[in-house]
Chains A and B, each alone.
Chain A
Amino acid sequence: MSPDFLNFIETVLNGLMTGVMYSLVALGFVLIFKASGIFNFAQGVMALFAALTLVGLQTGQVPFAHLINAVLGTDVHHWGPGLPTVLAILVTMLVMIALAFLIEKVVLKHLVNQEPIILFMATIGLAYFLEGTGDLMWGADVKALDVGLPSGGSFWWEDVTRNWAPAGSDYFGMYIDTLDVSAAIIAVVLVVALTLFSQYTATGRALRAVADDHQAALSVGISLRSIWVIVWSIAGFVALVAGIMWGAKSGVQFSLSLIALKALPVLILGGFTSIPGAIVGGLIIGVGEKLAEAYVGPLVGGAVENWFAYMVALAFLLFRPQGLYGEKIIERI
């Protein structure tokens, strides 16, 4: 195989890995949209908030230390060496469940039957609120997150692929980040688990019933409000996983919340209501983006990654307005 072709394969592989990460975020959106018809813009910030909380617990920071110091004039920063990783993840999960509960109690309960745009705005408000709270609680500096996943390039894969090129050519093997590989595996496990959960448990069936028809679900005795708490908790769990992956990859910082914006074209490509759509859409966007950066980027000055996904989604929507796997849009008067 010629080096050019091998480079192409490498770009595609890396694109697939990035795509999996996008899918992780998009998955949270789809879950909430299916169950409550809410387009939850706060999903990215929830990932950031979860990652911040996890790091804070791991390193034993005192929450709101900055605020306490400013108000009381004290100098508190850490309360101890911090929790072990597994315990910290569990506590963070509890925090995300508490958050889901609060969101339902304080916000969603009062906005039942409002127009979708109002609910959308409420989640943007929520995103700002969570972002401010996260910064206020744990500080805004960039933090490293280490949960014991392997990271760095895979030497084994580099050695294997080096021999694929014809002897004597200038080719040094493919670079694949082991962190991306574990992220992909975890994403697959997560999707399988979610699918099994929604197919074979009573709660899962209730979730699907609500997604199908709110009123019919209510009439057979499914409590909408508890379903919403469950859905937001699951979305919080997905956010936690996404936060761990993205945090381990590029550090826990504000820009983490912007991955939500990257998940949007994935969503419209795959359709708002489809879990397989979120996965396939993520992969298409990931690969497309990397290929565009590698082959179109040099022609126009680089950084096409920022908008390419949106343009792909836009062009795609012109031909199929409901996305790849979305429900057919039927309009009546």
Chain B
Amino acid sequence: MLYRETGDFKSSYAADQQTFPIRSERYLFWGAMVIAFLVVPFFINDYWEKSVLVPLLVWSMAALGLNILTGYCGQVSLGTGGFMAVGAYACYKLMTAFPDLNIFIVVILSGGVTAFVGMLFGLPSLRIKGFYLAVATLAAQFFLVWLFNKVPWFYNYSASGQITAPERTIFGIAVTGASAPPWATYLFCLTLVFLFAWIARNLTRGTLGRSWMAIRDMDIAAEIIGVQPLKAKISAFAVSSFYIGVAGALYFSVWLGAVEPTEAFGINVSFLVLFMVIIGGLGSILGSFLGAAFLTLMPVLLKNVMVGGLGWPTDLAAHFEIMLVGGLIVFFLIVEPHGLAQLWRLAKEKLRLWPFPY
């Protein structure tokens, strides 16, 4: 039968605690992974890569990062754009300073650099809470973007102030630069996202994740039962910034190829990722993916319908899109404030009792 615990016996603690406790859920997950890893690369073309799949993966990564901070640890941050910029510029500096370094290591290292910067800007969170903290993280946003605009060392003194990703390879296949084949960039991003989503899932249900959630639910109570706020908050900022930094590195090197800080890492990026997390569901790994998918795919769909289907001018379609995104956000918050992940949870509950709900 579809989606039942019946007949799914567990004989060990490990089996009891696995992420997907029900067999059909496991089949669904691994089936989706097989399609993503083994089928999609054969059919992917330039359009799908640049405007759907790679953006989806990059935003999922960023949303995962912000969800760790905001959803699991309860610290609202509006500095995502700035931290993505740190990841992108760290990636650029490492790529140009060490041309022989493997791009995989470069991306991980730029995540590490961002984690360090994130820890610095996370320090005020020990004293400032709630909206005050959200506004304080705006300092990171504006300061970092300003820094990358003003200090020529960061963009290697190039005349345009832009940074451009040189070509780098893995196993002899280009994954960055203009000549990288779509399937290679896609697989590169997918591997990283898969790996880090797996790590995030296991981090959040371990000791560290539990201390984050304790801080989120009530920080004073958590402190009294022995959770160290310093350790929990700073580690949440570090891990979250690491993910956002990796997302920023991919955003710059794999997806866009060339960026200019004010355009690519502005305050709008921070809001976009926050929307993804909220619409997807705070405190849910699946939610990060659902939110990212929703906000990446909807504009593409809308654009195709309005410009391609109805033949409207593009500026009109753009205004309509902003309006619709805003309207949908409000609509979703009213219908399900806990996000798409909650809808999925409810659907599963219903499915378990189907066809005899009692």
- Could you list which residues of chain A lie within 8 angstroms of chain B, going by C-beta atoms? 39, 66-67, 70, 106-107, 110-111, 114-118, 120-122, 124-133, 135-136, 140, 261, 264-265, 267-268, 272, 300-304, 306-307, 310-311, 313-314, 317-318, 321-323, 329, 331-333
Q: Do the beta carbons of A128 and B319 come within 8 Å of each other?
A: no
Q: Do the beta carbons of A132 and B323 come within 8 Å of each other?
A: yes
- Could you list which residues of chain B lie within 8 angstroms of chain A, going by C-beta atoms? 76, 124, 127-132, 135-136, 138-139, 142-143, 145-146, 149-151, 218, 220-221, 224, 267, 271, 274-275, 278, 282, 312-313, 315-316, 319-330, 333-334, 337
What residues on A are CB-neighbors of B315 within 8 Å? 140
Q: Do the beta carbons of B150 and A118 come within 8 Å of each other?
A: no
Apart from A127-B326, A306-B146, list 15 A-B contacts with CB within 8 A: A66-B313, A111-B337, A116-B130, A121-B275, A124-B274, A132-B321, A132-B323, A140-B315, A261-B267, A264-B135, A267-B135, A268-B136, A303-B150, A313-B135, A317-B132
Q: Do the beta carbons of A130 and B326 come within 8 Å of each other?
A: yes
A75, B319: Cα distance in complex, Å? 19
What residues on A are CB-neighbors of B337 within 8 Å? 111, 114-115, 118
Q: Do the beta carbons of B138 and A132 come within 8 Å of each other?
A: no
What residues on B are CB-neighbors of A125 within 8 Å? 275, 325-330, 333
Q: Do the beta carbons of A118 and B326 come within 8 Å of each other?
A: no
A87, B330: Cα distance in complex, Å? 33
A39, B133: Cα distance in complex, Å? 13
**SS class, residues of chain B in contact with chain A:** helix
Q: Do the beta carbons of B278 and A317 come within 8 Å of each other?
A: no
Q: From the candidates B135, B319, B323, B325, name the one contacting A310 in the complex (CB within 8 A).
A: B135
A328, B337: Cα distance in complex, Å? 30
Q: From the candidates A107, A127, A140, A333, name the one contacting B220 in the complex (CB within 8 A).
A: A333
What residues on B are CB-neighbors of A133 within 8 Å? 323
A131, B322: Cα distance in complex, Å? 7
Q: Do the beta carbons of B139 and A307 come within 8 Å of each other?
A: yes
Most chain A beta-carbon contacts within 10 A, residue among B149, B220, B271, B337 = B337
Q: Do the beta carbons of B329 and A124 come within 8 Å of each other?
A: yes
What distance in Å separates the Cβ of A104 from its nearest Cβ neighbour in chain B? 13
Q: What are some 29 contacts across the A-B interface (CB < 8 A)?
A: A116-B131, A117-B282, A120-B131, A121-B329, A122-B330, A122-B334, A124-B275, A125-B328, A125-B330, A126-B330, A128-B329, A131-B322, A131-B326, A132-B325, A140-B319, A265-B135, A268-B135, A268-B136, A300-B150, A301-B150, A301-B151, A307-B142, A307-B143, A310-B142, A311-B143, A321-B127, A322-B132, A331-B220, A333-B218
What distance in Å separates the Cβ of B341 from its nearest Cβ neighbour in chain A? 15
Query: Quick one: closest A residue to B143, CB to CB?
Result: A307
Q: Do the beta carbons of A310 and B136 come within 8 Å of each other?
A: yes
A264, B135: Cα distance in complex, Å? 7
A126, B135: Cα distance in complex, Å? 19
> 8 smallest A-B Cβ distances: which pairs?
A132-B323, A128-B326, A129-B326, A125-B329, A310-B139, A132-B322, A307-B142, A135-B319
A111, B338: Cα distance in complex, Å? 12
What distance in Å separates the Cβ of B256 from its nearest Cβ neighbour in chain A? 23
Q: Do the beta carbons of B323 and A136 come within 8 Å of each other?
A: yes
A124, B320: Cα distance in complex, Å? 16
What residues on A are CB-neighbors of B138 within 8 Å? 261, 264-265, 310
What distance in Å separates the Cβ of A299 from its nearest Cβ neighbour in chain B? 11
Most chain A beta-carbon contacts within 10 A, residue among B76, B131, B149 = B131
Q: From the candidates A122, A272, A304, A314, name the one contacting B131 in the complex (CB within 8 A).
A: A272
